[in-house]
Amino acid sequence: MDNAFQKLDAITESIIEKHSVTISREMLSEKKYKDRFLVKLGRRLIPINASEIAYFQAEEKMVFLVLKKGKRYIINYTLSELEELMNPREFFRLN
């Protein structure tokens, strides 16, 4: 009977270890996307949440962050950089 419990314990520990390694790998591989930007307005820096952004627009070698409310701010990112930084479920690139 003791042998059966020892085998059960060993199997249980093995299963737990395998699952914890899988969970750890998933957590490590989960990419973090930018959820906030600091934009310059005069001498002030204003935080902008990604949820407030309608789109980004490139115009004459400048990139603008455009809010859902219509305000535009120049940002120091290229569209290619933003494509990597932003969550693809929320933002995608149009040409």
pLDDT tens digits, 15-26 = 666 666 555 555
For residue 24, being part of any structural domain is answered with yes
Residue with tokens 């750890």: 24
Give pLDDT tens digits for 65-88. Answer: 999 999 999 999 999 999 999 998
For residue 95, being part of any structural domain is answered with no
Same-domain pairing of 71 and 41: yes
| pTM score of the predicted model | 0.65
**Of the candidates 95, 91, 93, the residue with the CA atom closest to the CA atom of residue 37:** 91
Residues 49-60 have a mean pLDDT of 94
Q: 3-state secondary structure string, the chain?
A: CHHHHHHHHHHHHHHHHHHHHHHHHHHHHCCCCCCEEEEEECCEEEEEEHHHEEEEEEECCEEEEEECCCCEEEECCCHHHHHHHCCCCCCCCCC
Question: What is the extent of the structural domain holding 73?
Answer: 36-85
Both structure tokens of 26: 């998933």
How long, in residues, is the chain?
Answer: 95
Residue with tokens 């059960």: 8
- Count how many domains the chain has: 2
Same-domain pairing of 12 and 49: no
Same-domain pairing of 78 and 44: yes
For residue 4, being part of any structural domain is answered with yes
For residue 91, being part of any structural domain is answered with no
Average pLDDT, the chain: 84
Same-domain pairing of 43 and 18: no
**What proportion of the chain, given as a percentage, has pLDDT over 70?**
76
